[in-house]
Amino acid sequence: MSARKFRLEVAERASDDFRSIQAYTLAQWRVDQATENEEAIHDAFEMLRTHPEPGKNREDLRSGLRSFPVPGQFILYEIARDTQVVQRIVHQRMDSSRALFP
User: How far are the Cα atoms of 41, 44, 60, 66 from residue 75, in angstroms, in the given order?
Assistant: 8, 8, 16, 8
> What is the per-residue pLDDT for 65?
92
Specify the pLDDT at position 101: 55
Beta-strand pair 56-57/73-80: unpaired
Within 10 angstroms of residue 80's Cβ, the number of other Cβ atoms is: 12
Query: What is the predicted pLDDT for the residue at 6?
Result: 84
The pLDDT assigned to 3 comes to: 64
Q: Which domains does the chain have, with CATH numbers?
A: 7-100 (3.30.2310.20)
**CA 23 vs CA 31, 42, 51: distances in Å:** 10, 17, 29
Task: Give every residue of the chain whose pLDDT is below 70, as ranges.
Answer: 1-3, 95-102
Residue 2, pLDDT score: 55
What is the predicted pLDDT for the residue at 92? 80
| Predicted local confidence at residue 1, as pLDDT | 47
Pick from 97, 95, 88, 96: nearest CA to 12: 88
CB 55 within 8 A of CB 67: yes
pTM for this structure? 0.85
